[in-house]
């Protein structure tokens, strides 16, 4: 099993605050891997460091076998490493259609039209509202747009930061279905969630992050069966 994305001993500090203290994890072709942990554990920081959005203090990230240190964020995206950020951050001042166009901003291949059809098939509501300003969408629709926009980038690896946050259960279900659908199309997924229940059910392997360290890792079923995880994250 060769990793398409590998994080080795990653450390990140915000001034005096040490957010990551040597985090290692990997993602292989065909996998859905989840990263769970309490608020403030360092999940978002891990993803932002992978994307080159925060400066790392140590360690390295390998994407398709090559270190990403010298690549800028937009170059990583062009190479297929795509993040749906925490809080969705759709361009509220752009229409739904334009948001999707921005997803395909850097695409040079001919697959854009086909991907637009896929997004519309997966999220018919976006198609209905494509002329609407993204800021007028509901939270769930914005999350669909954020995921649709990422699909338009032609991802080879998809990172998602708490896609279910603040959404109604029925919408959460739709979002997870969409993630599975993307995964089925051949894209490995690294899923960050506070909603540990859903995340563990929908993934192959899991990492548990506690105050900047990986406290536990393994197949999702095993992690879900761990008594400490049950108590701390699954509310049992």
Partner 1 sequence: MTTFLQQLVNGLSLGSIYALIALGYTMVYGVLRLINFAHGDVYMVGAYVGYYVSRRLQGREPSIGSALLVMLVAMVVCGILGILIERLAYRPVRREARLTLLITAIGVSLFIENAAQLVFGPDPKFFPSLAPRADFHFAGMRLTSEQITVIAVSVLLMVLLRFFILKTRTGKAMRAVSFSLDAAKLMGISTDWIISVTFALGSALAAAAGVLIAMQIPKIDPLMGIPYGLKAFVAAVLGGIGSVPGAVLGGLLIGTSEVMVVGYLSSTYRDAIAFGILILVLILRPQGLLGRVQKEKV
| Contact pick of 58, 60, 65, 93 for partner 1 (by CB under 8 A) | 93
Q: How many residues bind partner 1 (CB under 8 A)?
A: 25
CB neighbourhood size of 127 (10 A): 17
CB < 8 Å & 24+ apart, contacts of 175-181: 175/140, 175/143, 175/144, 175/147, 176/202, 178/122, 178/123, 178/144, 178/147, 179/32, 179/147, 180/32, 181/122
Residue range at the interface with partner 1 (CB under 8 A); choices 38-46, 99-107, 119-127, 206-214: 99-107
Rank residues 75 and 138 by Cβ distance to partner 1 and give the closer one. 75
Which residue's C-beta sits nearest to Mg ion? 44
Which phi and psi angles does 198 have, rounded to 5°?
Answer: -65, -40
Inter-axis angle of helices 169-184 and 139-152, nearest 10:
10
State yes or no: residue 78 binds partner 1 (CB under 8 A): yes
State yes or no: residue 57 binds partner 1 (CB under 8 A): no
Binding to partner 1, residues 35-54 (CB under 8 A): 51, 53
Q: What mask of x and - would describe binding to Mg ion in positions 63 to 92, judged by CB under 5 A?
A: -----------------------x------
Question: Torsion-angle region of residue 52: left (phi > 0), alpha (psi -120 to 50) or beta?
Answer: left
Identify what 151 binds: partner 1, Mg ion, ligand ADP, none; CB under 5 to 8 Å per kind.
none
State yes or no: residue 215 binds partner 1 (CB under 8 A): no
Q: Is 218:205 a contact under the CB 8 Å cutoff?
A: yes
| Contact pick of 26, 31, 41, 44 for Mg ion (by CB under 5 A) | 44
Binding to partner 1, residues 110-149 (CB under 8 A): 149
Q: What stretch of H or E contains 44?
A: helix 43-50
Q: Which residues bind partner 1 (CB under 8 A)?
A: 51, 53, 72-74, 77-78, 82-83, 85, 89-94, 98, 101-103, 105-107, 149, 153
């Amino acid at each position: 099993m060769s990793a398409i994305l590998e994080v080795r001993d990653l450390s990140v500090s915000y001034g005096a605050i040490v957010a990551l203290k040597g985090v290692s994890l990997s993602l292989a072709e065909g996998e859905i891997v989840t990263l769970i942990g309490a608020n403030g554990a360092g999940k978002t920081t891990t993803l932002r460091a992978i994307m080159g959005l925060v400066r790392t203090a140590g360690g390295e990230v390998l994407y398709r076998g090559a270190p990403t240190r010298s690549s800028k964020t937009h170059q990583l995206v062009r190479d297929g490493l795509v993040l749906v950020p925490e809080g969705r951050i759709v361009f509220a001042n752009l229409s739904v259609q334009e948001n999707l166009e921005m997803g395909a901003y850097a695409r040079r291949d001919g697959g854009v039209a086909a991907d637009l059809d896929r997004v519309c098939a997966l999220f018919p509501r976006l198609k209905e509202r494509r002329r609407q300003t993204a800021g007028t969408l509901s939270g769930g629709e914005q999350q669909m747009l954020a995921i649709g926009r990422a699909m338009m980038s032609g991802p080879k690896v998809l990172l998602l930061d708490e896609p279910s946050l603040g959404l109604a259960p029925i919408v959460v279900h739709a979002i997870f279905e969409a993630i599975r659908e993307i995964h089925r199309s051949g894209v490995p997924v690294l899923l960050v969630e506070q909603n540990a229940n859903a995340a563990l059910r929908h993934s192959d392997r899991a990492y548990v992050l506690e105050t900047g360290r990986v406290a536990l890792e393994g197949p999702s079923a095993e992690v879900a069966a761990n008594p400490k995880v049950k108590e701390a994250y699954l509310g049992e």
